[in-house]
Amino acid sequence: MSRDAARQPTPETIHATSVAIDGGAVVITGASGSGKSGLALELIALGARLISDDLTRIEPGAEGWPHAATTGRMAGVIEARGVGLLHVPHVARAPVCLIVDLDRTEQARLPEPVTRVVLGQAIPAVARVDSPHFAASILALSKGGRVT
């Protein structure tokens, strides 16, 4: 095995739901029942495409940037609690551009930027915001970034 192969990040499967917005993956993490699929459905209604529901494979892309990918299990299907399993527009993978952590709730009006390291790369991250505009904010953030 070459030294480069030995340093290659190891793919992993995580408990997360992921959607693609303008070619970038938004990875939504949180405990079971925290609203990952619900937020993904709101983003899909705004034009996002599902990558994976409940389980997301995180793997290095050709350029070393982490990608979110479907596990292949039920590709293009998302669970809508109380409604059932739904077919939605989907893609197989996309480079990770944002992580949304539904286990934490943001209290600050203008929070400081936060990142999480994924496969050696610092990825912007945000916590849940209890507001009706949260999905729209995630959409805008993933498309245009944050003013710093």
d(CA 113, CA 124): 7
Reported as a single tens digit per residue, the pLDDT across 7-60 is: 667 899 999 999 999 999 999 999 999 999 999 999 999 999 999 999 999 999
Average pLDDT estimate for 79-90: 96
Please, what is the angle between helix 134-144 and helix 36-45, to 10°? Answer: 70
Amino acid at 4: D
Reported as a single tens digit per residue, the pLDDT across 102-148 is: 999 999 999 999 999 999 999 999 999 999 999 999 999 999 888 87
Residue 1 placed within a domain: no
Per the listing, tokens 């480079």 go with: 95
Residue 47 placed within a domain: yes
Per-residue model confidence (pLDDT) at position 76: 96
Residue 3 placed within a domain: no
The pTM of the full predicted model, rounded to 2 decimals, is 0.92
- CATH number at 56 reads 3.40.50.300
* Total tally of structural domains belonging to the chain: 1
Per-residue model confidence (pLDDT) at position 84: 96
DSSP letter string over 16-48? EEEEEETTEEEEEE-STTSSHHHHHHHHHHTT-
Residue 116 placed within a domain: yes
User: Which of 62 and 51 is assigned the larger pLDDT?
Assistant: 51
User: In the structure, what pLDDT confidence band is assigned to residue 74 with cuts at 50, 70 and 90?
Assistant: confident
| Residue 12 near residue 56 (C-beta atoms within 8 A) | no
- Res 1 pLDDT > 50: no
Strands 121-128 and 93-105, how do they pair?
Answer: parallel
d(CA 76, CA 49): 9
Residue 13 placed within a domain: yes
| Residue 100 near residue 27 (C-beta atoms within 8 A) | yes
Residue 126 placed within a domain: yes
Find the domain containing 55 and state its range: 8-143
